[in-house]
Amino acid sequence: MKKLVLLLLAFLSLQLSAQELKLKKGAVVDNIKVGDSLPYSFSLLLPSNFTVNKKWPVVFIVDYNNREKQVIRLMASIAEEKGYILAASNNLNDTISISKNILAFTKTFNSVVGMLPIDENQIYTTGFNRAGRLASTIPAFISNIDGVLSYSSTVGNIEIINVKKPYQYIGIVSGYNFNYTEMLANKELLNKLKIPNQLLIEESRNNWPSTNNLATALDLFKMSAMAKGNLAVDSLFINNNYNTTLTTINKLVAANKLKKAKNLIDQTIMVYKPFKKIDSLKDKSNALRKNKIYKSLKRAENNVWFKEQSLKNDFAYYVEEDAYTHNFNNLGWWAHQTKEIDKFKNSTNQEQQKMGYRLEGYLVALTNDYIDTVLAEKNTDYDALSFLYMLKTIIAPKDYDPYLKIISLSAKNNDFGTSIFYLEELLKNGYTDADKLYNLESTTLLKLTPEYNALIEKYLKKGRYILKE
């Protein structure tokens, strides 16, 4: 009897929560508690036409350190247009273990699925950047995830994908992003494993996916559900999307953008094969593959990829070698490499230009990874750390934190000359927070020196300890 009462109370609690949320349709609701006694919460967006009288598809947003609230707002208009519920755990963090993140996600998942009328055949996860790897790992622990949308991130662990019940994988990546070539390789591997997947390419250097590609991804999820028989086939929806895609293909061919045209044709064949005869598209794909212009474009692309991989191998070797041998003398070589990368970035050849941005992003990410590795070691190698911070100021001069770290580390070792040098480099690059400069760790003596104050006075007019003549 006692158990029955508890179950009834739990049911009423969920019903009340659902009724409460009905009043906030069409707007993001933050910090919804999973339970009164649990330290978990989530954000939620219900479409403005939400009703409990039908089942709804849902996208669970996976991101770290409060960025999930930014992502849910980015996707809000698309979810509204396409009729999706959005939900995001507020407790995911990139500094905790995968198991703890999955536990936090599961709390949100169970709450949303228990609280709202969710279509169990249309449950998806999405993750941006590093969080994309977690988003693609979750289906190994929650079997009824039907698809994963990942932005600028490869599959977390392909080995744990259930190939007997694979999910639909959709990747989005910019051709300028350093993960671009890895995501192309990721697609090839998924194809070999016969795991359904699509890769959508962004043409801009933006840090966020375009609303157009996000909308396309949700449409692809919908068509995947139809192809599996989990959703009634909407012929009008299929035909409209198909005809729009054919128009885009024809425009690309007319503009001699043959690589993009062939990629879109091949994707269209895979997506629409369950619904339409695609023999004409196969013929068009084969014709393009034999086209001289297409072959020339592919050769040029392959040459760029070969050079890019060679440079990435060099960077990976020398970052580790220089950091752990404290090879400060090689910073000049690194400065030269960044100038070469800048030449690629400013090239009139678009493929080389994209390669330049990818190499820059790769080198920044590589350096950040080594910084994290050194900081995680039991006995921190401060010389290696100093080298990496110095390298970071060369490859990402507008990232101010490494300058501050070097100023502090050098002052701790009474190397005021190095601190003063990097202070001026920092100020030359536009840094303006004088208060922070006077509150850096280990700079008690440094900030009293005439040189330190003179530079802050010169660039910011805020020197505190200036000797009056």
pLDDT at 372: 96
- Tokens, residue 29: 């609701």
Q: What CA–CA distance (Å, rounded) separates 433 from 435?
A: 6
CA distances from 466 to 47, 179, 425, 443 (A): 60, 49, 21, 17
Find tokens 């055949």 and name the residue. Answer: 121
Closest CA to 165 of 148, 150, 149, 144: 144
Contact between 133 and 155 (Cβ < 8 Å): yes
Q: What CA–CA distance (Å, rounded) separates 335 from 391?
A: 8
Laid out side by side, the sheet with 197-202 consists of: 28-33, 41-45, 85-89, 56-62, 118-128, 147-151, 168-174, 197-202
The CATH number corresponding to 21-231 among 3.40.50.1820, 3.30.420.480, 3.50.50.60, 3.30.365.10 equals 3.40.50.1820
Q: What CA–CA distance (Å, rounded) separates 203 from 213?
A: 11
Q: What CA–CA distance (Å, rounded) separates 31 from 21?
A: 12
CA distances from 462 to 11, 203, 307, 467 (A): 62, 43, 48, 13
Q: What CA–CA distance (Å, rounded) separates 37 from 34?
A: 9
Predicted model pTM: 0.90
Q: What CA–CA distance (Å, rounded) separates 147 from 225?
A: 9
Q: What CA–CA distance (Å, rounded) separates 105 from 59?
A: 12
Rg (CA), the chain: 26
Q: What CA–CA distance (Å, rounded) separates 118 from 124?
A: 11
151-188 b/e with 16+ CB inside 10 Å = b?
A: bbbbbbeeeebeeeebbbbbbbbbbbbbbbbebeebbe
pLDDT at 296: 94
Q: What CA–CA distance (Å, rounded) separates 173 from 132?
A: 11
Domain boundaries, the chain: 21-231, 233-290, 295-460
Please give the single-letter amino acid code of residue 243: N
Contact between 54 and 12 (Cβ < 8 Å): no
Q: What CA–CA distance (Å, rounded) separates 237 from 219?
A: 9
- Positions in the chain whose pLDDT score sits under 70: 1-23, 36-37, 468-469
Helix (H) or strand (E) holding 282: helix 279-290
Contact between 378 and 360 (Cβ < 8 Å): no
Cα 94–chain centre separation: 13
pLDDT at 259: 96
- Tokens, residue 298: 């592919």
Q: What CA–CA distance (Å, rounded) separates 116 from 46?
A: 10
295-460 topology per CATH:
1.25.40
Helix (H) or strand (E) holding 120: strand 118-128
Closest CA to 364 of 337, 344, 382: 337
Q: What CA–CA distance (Å, rounded) separates 173 from 176?
A: 8
Closest CA to 304 of 366, 259, 249, 255: 259
How does DSSP classify residue 26?
Answer: T
Please give the single-letter amino acid code of residue 405: K
